[in-house]
Amino acid sequence: MKRIKIILVFFLATLFIGCENDDNTGFFYDLVPIESVVLPDEFTRGETYTLSVSYFRPTSCHGFAGFDYNRLNNERTVAVVNVVVNPHQCQDLEQTDLVEETLDFFVGQEDSYIFRFWQGLDELGNNIFLSIEVPVVL
Determine the CATH number of domain 2-137.
2.60.40
Q: What is the DSSP string of 56-90?
A: E--BTTEEEEEEEEEEETTEEEEEEEEEEESGGG-
The phi and psi torsions of 60 (rounded to 5 degrees) equal -70, -15
The CA distance from 38 to 54, in Å, is 9
Short-list 31, 41, 33, 108, CA closest to 76:
108
Q: How confident is the model at residue 21 (pLDDT cuts 50, 70, 90)?
A: very low
pLDDT (tens digit per residue) in 25-79: 688 999 999 999 999 999 999 999 999 999 999 999 999 999 999 999 999 999 9
Q: So where are the chain's domains?
A: 2-137
pLDDT of res. 90: 85
